[in-house]
Amino acid sequence: MPPRRVIGVDVGGTKLLGGAIDEQLGVRHRVHRRWRGGDVRETIDIIAEAVEEVRSATPDAEAVGFGIPSLVDHRTGASLFSVHLPLDDVPFRDLLSERLELPVFVDNDTNVAVLAEQRYGAARGAEHVVMLTLGTGIGGGLILGGRLYRGATGSGAELGHIVIDADGPECQGDCPGRGCLEVMASGNAIGREGLLAAERDPESGLGRALTEGRDVRGPLVTELAHAGDPVAVGVLERIGQSLGVGIVSIVNAFGPEIVVVGGGAVAAGDLLLDPARAVVAERALPPNREDVRIVPAQFGSESGMLGAGVLALERGRV
Domains of the chain, each with CATH number or no CATH: 5-114+302-313 (3.30.420.40), 126-297 (3.30.420.40)
Give the three-class secondary structure for 15: strand
CA proximity to 232, closest of 261, 194, 175: 194
CA proximity to 124, closest of 268, 297, 304: 297
Mean pLDDT of 216-244: 97
User: Is the model's pLDDT at 314 over the cut of 70?
Assistant: yes
> Which H or E element spans position 49?
helix 40-57
pLDDT bin (cut points 50, 70, 90) of residue 318 is: confident
User: Is the model's pLDDT at 157 over the cut of 90?
Assistant: no
- Cβ distance 297 to 261 under 8 Å? yes
Q: For 185-213, what is each residue's pLDDT tens digit?
A: 999 999 999 999 999 999 999 999 999 99
Q: Label the pairing between strands 71-73 and 293-296.
A: unpaired
pLDDT value of position 90: 95
Q: What is the rounded distance in angstroms from the CA atom of residue 183 to the CA atom of residue 242?
A: 10
Backbone angles phi, psi at 293, to 5 degrees: -110, 140
Backbone angles phi, psi at 14, to 5 degrees: -130, -5
Q: For 1-48, what is each residue's pLDDT tens digit?
A: 667 999 999 998 778 999 999 998 999 999 998 876 678 999 999 999
Mean pLDDT of 225-238: 97
> Which H or E element spans position 122?
none
pLDDT value of position 38: 77
- Cβ distance 104 to 299 under 8 Å? no
Mean pLDDT of 74-80: 90
